[in-house]
A = this chain, B = another copy of it.
Amino acid sequence: MSPRDRQQRSSKGHQDFCIKNIKQADFGRREIEIAEQEMPALMALRKRSGGEKPLVGAKVVGCTHITAQTAVLMETLSALGAQCRWAACNIYSTQNAVAAALAEGGFSVFAWKGESEDDFWWCIDRCVSLEAWQPNMILDDGGDLTHWIFKKYPNMFKMIKGIVEESVTGVHRLYQLSKAGRLCIPAMNVNDSITKQKFDNLYCCRESILDGLKRSTDVMFGGKQVVVCGYGEVGKGCSAALKAMGSVVNVTEVDPICALQACMDGFRLVKLNEVIRQVDLVITCTGNKNVVAREYLDRMKNGCIVCNMGHSNTEIDVVSLRTPELTWEKVRSQVDHVIWPDGKRIILLAEGRLLNLSCSTVPTFVLSITATTQALALIELYNAPEGRYKQDVYLLPKKMDEFVASLHLPTFDAHLTELTDEQGKYLGLSKTGPFKPNYYRY
């Protein structure tokens, strides 16, 4: 029976939600409590800003993955004064027990694992189509919620003070709307905030490339010949990690600046065709299309592993491998052998989708960075004085970004130095930041 067909009720009589099973609430609560221990920044935010409740009056409608980490975020927003209604941004990713705990806690949450396409939009609609409750802030991940309001309830934007968007895709849509002159409220691009970028890409991928490869293939890294396609933050992380494990790493690039960085970091900069016959491992990190085209797959040696760490599932031309002369053999979850007529096997991971999402996990610390950034972006947009933000897409103010970072320093028992008055004056800086010009590159 679909959750839509069954009215449930929390122990306190709350009914304004639609989830799988309210009885899983206790188990979900424990998951949330564990997550709280690893998200000290949000907990600190509750304490630090708690007295003032900077989100009093905020009615946040959200559409994100529904996980224990999101629950910590939602309960933080609530503690800061906000009311929340929430749907899932993905039909598979909802943790049902967590959704139950949220419902039990009084949240209006509409999400379950395994929604249909129709369910998906129904849930989103239930979040916003309410007479008694008009949202004034949007927290989106992917842009579907924003899109739905645009399409169905355009007038609602008159009441909304701003959109906070996390994903590459959603941000892209917002910039397009802005370009087209159709963005009617301020939006904050938290995807490109500095701290989040560094953690999502460089720091996270440095670890997940090793983890993803080990879990899926048990490959030994020492002595392996590798080519990393693309030397952005993801490529830098992957290359550094494999070099440290004793692999011989080659890099391909189209951008001469990144290419020069690869050289100075000790990697051979090559074209793919120069090394494709000899490498044991091909990793794509470009965000580009058909980087590993069929012609390269044809020339790889037997046993070569191919995987994607970039931003889409287009980097490896997997479609070109779905031809009659090639045999596919699934050897494990997420691991296929593609077999050529002469017996050569290519080991394709996650069918060309993102290795780090498919075969590895994202550390809670990284999710904490993201959630804290979202919370601060909501606070900033909600409290910004008239006129600070126009109908445009903004990056998180540097000072907020610095605040996100500072909230995460205690995890490392890290002690920040404070400028003296004299030093602040000498540098022309406030002692509380921001500490760098906007063009600073970190």
Interface residues of A (CB under 8 A from B): 37, 192, 194-195, 197-199, 203-204, 206-207, 210-211, 214-215, 218-223, 225, 241, 243-248, 252-272, 274, 278, 287-291, 302-303, 314, 360-361, 363, 365-366, 395, 401-403, 405-406, 408-409, 411-420, 422-423, 426-427, 433, 435-436, 439, 441-442
Copies of this protein chain in the complex: 4
Closest chain B residue to A419, Cβ basis: B254
**Residue contact B264 to A222, C-beta cutoff 8 Å:** yes
User: Ordered nearest first, which 3 A-B pairs have the shortest CB separation?
Assistant: A244-B244, A269-B414, A256-B406
Known: A245-B206, A245-B207, A422-B290. A256 touches B413 (CB 8 A): no
Could you say which of A247, A266, A360, A422 has the most chain B C-beta atoms within 10 Å of its C-beta?
A266
Q: Please measure, in the bound complex, the distance between the C-alpha atom of A206 and the C-alpha atom of B220, giving whole angstroms.
A: 10
Given A194-B441, A289-B423, 9 additional A-B pairs, CB 8 A? A207-B245, A214-B214, A218-B363, A248-B267, A256-B405, A256-B406, A257-B401, A257-B405, A290-B423
Smallest distance from the beta carbon of A223 to chain B beta carbons, Å? Answer: 4
Closest chain B residue to A249, Cβ basis: B266
**Residue contact A416 to B245, C-beta cutoff 8 Å:** no
Smallest distance from the beta carbon of A91 to chain B beta carbons, Å? Answer: 24
**Residue contact A268 to B248, C-beta cutoff 8 Å:** yes
Q: CB < 8 Å: which of B265, B268, B435 contacts A255?
A: B435
**Residue contact A215 to B218, C-beta cutoff 8 Å:** no
Closest chain B residue to A219, Cβ basis: B363
Q: Within 8 Å CB of A203, what residues of B?
A: 220, 222, 246, 264
Q: Please measure, in the bound complex, the distance between the C-alpha atom of A223 and the C-alpha atom of B259, giving whole angstroms.
A: 11
**Residue contact A274 to B415, C-beta cutoff 8 Å:** yes
Q: CB < 8 Å: which of B37, B252, B269, B409 contacts A260?
A: B409
Closest chain B residue to A236, Cβ basis: B442
Q: Please measure, in the bound complex, the distance between the C-alpha atom of A192 and the C-alpha atom of B436, giving whole angstroms.
A: 13
Smallest distance from the beta carbon of A370 to chain B beta carbons, Å? Answer: 14
Q: Please measure, in the bound complex, the distance between the C-alpha atom of A433 and the C-alpha atom of B254, giving whole angstroms.
A: 9
Closest chain B residue to A34, Cβ basis: B331
Smallest distance from the beta carbon of A205 to chain B beta carbons, Å? Answer: 11
**Residue contact A409 to B259, C-beta cutoff 8 Å:** yes
Q: CB < 8 Å: which of B211, B314, B426, B442 contacts A257?
A: B442
* 18 A/B residue pairs, CB under 8 Å, sorted by A: A198-B261, A210-B214, A214-B360, A244-B244, A248-B266, A253-B417, A257-B401, A257-B402, A257-B442, A261-B442, A269-B409, A269-B414, A271-B415, A272-B417, A288-B423, A289-B427, A290-B420, A314-B426
Q: Please measure, in the bound complex, the distance between the C-alpha atom of A178 and the C-alpha atom of B196, giving whole angstroms.
A: 34
Known: A266-B243, A266-B247, A409-B263. A37 touches B303 (CB 8 A): yes
Smallest distance from the beta carbon of A430 to chain B beta carbons, Å? Answer: 11
Could you say which of A246, A278, A413, A427 has the most chain B C-beta atoms within 10 Å of its C-beta?
A246
Closest chain B residue to A198, Cβ basis: B261
Known: A220-B366, A266-B223, A422-B289. A257 touches B415 (CB 8 A): no
**Residue contact B288 to A426, C-beta cutoff 8 Å:** yes
Q: Please measure, in the bound complex, the distance between the C-alpha atom of A254 and the C-alpha atom of B225, giving whole angstroms.
A: 21
Smallest distance from the beta carbon of A199 to chain B beta carbons, Å? Answer: 8
Q: Within 8 Å CB of A256, what residues of B?
A: 402-403, 405-406, 409, 416, 433
